[in-house]
């Protein structure tokens, strides 16, 4: 058979090969080692290879591309460098990096991008079943990475292995502070400032979170130059630039916070010229002192939104207050707004019922005192 032969190494190792020309170049494909396959088996493999060449394929080139194909570790590097670094916020970049380092690389890193299957992704997702929220976030990162792998030509279109991997159910927290808890928290913040357990800037940060509904990062990195009268202009919020309207109480909290020379930030930290880096640590002390051990910092934002809903404001207005861009994000407060609507409906019902009842009573009384007239024909 033309092109079929055996290559013998200096140590006597015999490897069957088949040779052909493609694109003006001589190409050679190894078929197997003598002993592992027989000459007849090797000849059959050679025939199959030459048949592929006759069909316009390049078996040697495909093998070379497979060897050079990037693995998932390389995909993670490119994803973080080319996508996350230029298109995502710093916190999102950090979250993506953590997901890759702790979960994606240890389980999938050595695999070729083109070889990863849905079973591999489902297996990793299932391993994280004890942490459903984390499992779903990792799944989302993997899905984004493999979508980009298709864009970059590393996998065929529509082959994302994360597709159809069912997410775990997540229990949404709806913790918000009652009026008594709000009062307790406020008094605790003032007391801890007086005793020196927290700084006035840290206490002010939590008060502003309650009074504005802002995200932690938005208050933590707030600069004095963003405050314009009774408005805060956030040039780079999570969903893009947005304005935050300051209430009278929020303006008073800001007015009480001392400015520090050569520090542009409102919530001053311990490092000169910088904002407070970690507010979780003082928050744990504050909530313990206030007896609110199950309250997270983000629950202050939920409290603001919940009070707005219970005050009768529409979901659209609440979304504007919180800086939401998607209506479904605000929909979690719909049941609170429904309660206000239901109360209004009950009020109207009470008025109508009163009118109807009163009208029936008056009609009955009039009929009792009105003399019966006999009609004479």
Q: What is the pLDDT of residues 234-274, one digit of tens each?
A: 887 777 788 888 889 999 999 999 999 889 999 998 888 89
C-alpha span between 42 and 26 (Å, rounded): 20
Q: Is the pTM of this model over 0.85?
A: no
Q: Do 82 and 194 fall within a single domain?
A: no
Q: What is the pLDDT of residue 329?
A: 59
> Residue 121: pLDDT above 50?
yes
Does residue 116 lie within any of the structural domains? yes
Q: Do 193 and 329 fall within a single domain?
A: yes
Q: Do 321 and 203 fall within a single domain?
A: yes
Domain-terminating residue out of 68, 88, 104: 68
Q: What is the pLDDT of residue 319?
A: 72
Q: What is the pLDDT of residue 236?
A: 79
Does residue 362 lie within any of the structural domains? no
What is the percentage of the chain residues whose pLDDT exceeds 70?
A: 84
- Which H or E run contains 133? helix 132-151
CATH number assigned to the domain comprising residue 103? 1.10.150.130
- Residue 305 or 286, more confident: 286
Q: What is the pLDDT of residue 340?
A: 55
> Residue 31: pLDDT above 50?
yes
Q: Do 194 and 304 fall within a single domain?
A: yes
> Residue 347: pLDDT above 80?
no
- Which H or E run contains 136? helix 132-151
Give the pair of three-digit tokens for residue 87: 């298109």
> Residue 338: pLDDT above 70?
no
Domain count of the fold of the chain: 3
Give the pair of three-digit tokens for residue 191: 């007391």
User: Across residues 64-85, what is the average pLDDT?
Assistant: 88
> Residue 377: pLDDT above 50?
no
Q: What is the CA radius of gyration of the chain?
A: 35
Q: Do 79 and 57 fall within a single domain?
A: no
Q: Domain limits at 110?
A: 72-151
Domain-terminating residue out of 68, 99, 115: 68
Question: How many Å from the N-terminal Cα to the C-terminal Cα in the chain?
Answer: 128
Give the model confidence (pLDDT) of 194-241 as tens digits. Answer: 999 999 999 999 999 998 888 898 899 999 999 998 888 888 777 778
Q: What is the pLDDT of residue 330?
A: 61
Q: What is the pLDDT of residue 312?
A: 72
Q: What is the pLDDT of residue 308?
A: 81
* Strand, helix or coil for residue 38: coil
Q: Do 99 and 205 fall within a single domain?
A: no
> Residue 22: pLDDT above 90?
no
> Residue 373: pLDDT above 50?
no
- Which H or E run contains 33? strand 25-33
Q: Which residue do the tokens 């400015």 mark?
A: 259
Domain-terminating residue out of 133, 151, 169: 151
> Residue 374: pLDDT above 60?
no
Q: Residue 375 — very low, low, confident or very high, per pLDDT cuts 50/70/90? A: very low
Q: What is the pLDDT of residue 332?
A: 62
Q: Among residues 297, 227, 289, 218, which one has the least CA distance to residue 255?
A: 227
Does residue 374 lie within any of the structural domains? no
Does residue 300 lie within any of the structural domains? yes
Paired with 55 in beta bridges are none
CATH number assigned to the domain comprising residue 50? 3.30.160.390
Average pLDDT, the chain: 85
Q: What is the pLDDT of residue 324?
A: 67
Q: Among residues 289, 312, 287, which one has the least CA distance to residue 177?
A: 287
The segment with the largest mean pLDDT, out of 28-32, 61-65, 79-83, is: 79-83
Q: Which residue do the tokens 């030509």 mark?
A: 153
Q: What is the pLDDT of residue 349?
A: 56
């Amino acid at each position: 058979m033309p092109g079929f032969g055996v290559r013998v190494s200096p140590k006597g190792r015999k490897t069957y090969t088949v040779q052909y020309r493609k694109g003006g170049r001589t190409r050679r494909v190894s078929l197997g080692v003598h002993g592992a396959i027989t000459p007849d088996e090797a000849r059959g493999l050679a025939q199959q290879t030459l048949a592929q060449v006759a069909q316009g394929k390049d078996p040697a080139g495909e093998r070379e591309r497979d060897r050079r194909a990037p693995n998932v570790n390389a995909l993670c590097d490119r994803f973080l460098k080319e996508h996350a670094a230029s298109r995502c916020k710093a916190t999102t970049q950090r979250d993506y990096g953590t997901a890759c380092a702790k979960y994606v690389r240890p389980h999938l890193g050595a695999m070729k991008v083109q070889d990863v299957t849905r079973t591999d992704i489902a297996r990793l997702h299932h391993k994280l079943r004890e942490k459903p929220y984390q499992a779903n976030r990792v799944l989302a990162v993997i899905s984004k990475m493999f979508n980009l792998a298709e864009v970059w030509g590393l996998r065929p279109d529509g082959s994302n292995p994360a597709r159809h991997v069912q997410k775990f159910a997540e229990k949404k927290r709806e913790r918000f502070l009652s009026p008594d808890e709000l009062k307790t928290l406020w008094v605790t913040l003032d007391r801890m400032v007086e005793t020196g357990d927290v700084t006035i800037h840290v206490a002010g940060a939590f008060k502003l979170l309650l009074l504005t509904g802002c995200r932690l990062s938005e208050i933590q990195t707030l600069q004095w130059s963003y405050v314009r009268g009774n408005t805060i202009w956030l040039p780079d919020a999570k969903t893009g630039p947005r304005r935050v309207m300051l209430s009278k109480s929020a303006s008073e909290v800001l007015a009480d916070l001392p400015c520090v020379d050569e520090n542009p930030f409102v919530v001053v930290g311990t490092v000169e010229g910088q904002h407070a880096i970690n507010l979780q640590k003082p928050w744990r002390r504050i909530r313990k002192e206030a007896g609110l051990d199950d309250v997270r910092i983000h629950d202050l934002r939920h409290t603001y939104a919940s009070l707005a809903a219970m005050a009768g404001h529409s979901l659209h207005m609440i979304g504007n207050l919180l800086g939401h861009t998607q209506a479904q994000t605000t929909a979690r407060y719909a049941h609170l707004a429904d309660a206000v609507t239901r109360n209004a409906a009950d009020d109207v019902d009470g008025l109508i019922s009163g009118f109807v009842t009163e009208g029936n009573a008056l009609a009955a009384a009039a009929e009792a005192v009105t003399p019966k007239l006999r009609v004479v024909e």
